[in-house]
């Protein structure tokens, strides 16, 4: 790790056939879905690497993960951490707490299924954290693809009692931020690729 004050937490799974992009796999097959996931996960990590931030890869599931295989796949330039037990909210809470404990001043968290994310968007997220407590990147499905905090503005309650994997995640999160009087700034909306419709939109973009 460097002396950067910024950090990016990236939640990833190892690209094991039949274990990633399972909704998409129902339409394009396990192998194609796994190869697609592997490609966009690699691209996401490389885009994060182009920012002025240290990268922490929190992997799931932690059991039986061969870190040597992970590092062969993505490289050794990152710090690898297992995701903790519990729902997504618990996992993200623990990740933020663990990384903030390393004296970073700004942290953003992202997933691995937003192929249109760019280094510029990630950089802008950190810039917005100079102006507000929180930055959030909404998704058209009602969730979000990025969430970031300053060290002094992070509060675990933002992840509590959220109906994960529903179209109300973004709305519930904004309500929490307002309830706890946190200022927030938003990035552009980006679509995660989870099903055949979003996959086709991504594949056919620009045509």
- Please say whether the beta carbons of 133 and 167 come within 8 A: no
pLDDT at 206: 59
| pTM assigned to the model | 0.94
List the domain boundaries for the chain. 6-203
Phi then psi dihedrals of residue 64, to 5 deg: 60, 25
Per residue in 21-58, pLDDT (tens digit) is: 999 999 999 999 999 999 999 999 999 999 999 999 99
CB 194 within 8 A of CB 165: no
The residue written with tokens 């679509």 in the block is 191
At 120 the pLDDT is: 98
* Superfamily (CATH) of domain 6-203: Spore Coat Polysaccharide Biosynthesis Protein SpsA; Chain A (3.90.550.10)
CB contact at 8 A, 20 and 31:
no
The CA angle 69-39-44, to the nearest 5 degrees, is 90
Residues of the chain where predicted confidence (pLDDT) is lower than 50: 1
Give Cα 105 distance to the centre of its chain. Answer: 18
pLDDT of the residue at 196: 93
């Amino acid at each position: 790790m460097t002396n950067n004050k910024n950090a990016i937490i990236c939640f990833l799974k190892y690209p094991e056939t039949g274990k990633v992009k399972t909704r998409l796999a129902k339409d394009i097959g396990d192998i194609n879905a796994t190869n697609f996931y592997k490609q966009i996960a690699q691209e996401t990590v490389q885009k994060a690497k182009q920012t002025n931030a240290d990268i922490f890869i929190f992997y799931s599931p932690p059991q039986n993960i061969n870190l040597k295989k992970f590092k062969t796949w993505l490289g050794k330039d990152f710090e690898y951490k297992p995701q903790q037990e519990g729902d997504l909210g618990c996992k993200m809470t623990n990740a933020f707490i663990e990384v903030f404990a390393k004296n970073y001043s700004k942290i953003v968290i992202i997933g691995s299924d937003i192929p249109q994310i760019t280094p510029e968007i990630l950089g802008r997220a950190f810039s917005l954290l100079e102006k507000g407590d929180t930055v959030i990147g909404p998704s058209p499905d009602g969730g979000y693809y990025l969430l970031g905090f300053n060290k002094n503005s992070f509060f675990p309650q933002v992840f509590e009692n959220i109906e994960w994997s529903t179209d109300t995640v973004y709305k519930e999160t904004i309500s929490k931020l307002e309830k706890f009087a946190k200022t927030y700034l938003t990035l552009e909306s980006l679509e995660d690729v989870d099903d055949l419709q979003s996959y086709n939109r991504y594949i056919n973009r620009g045509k």
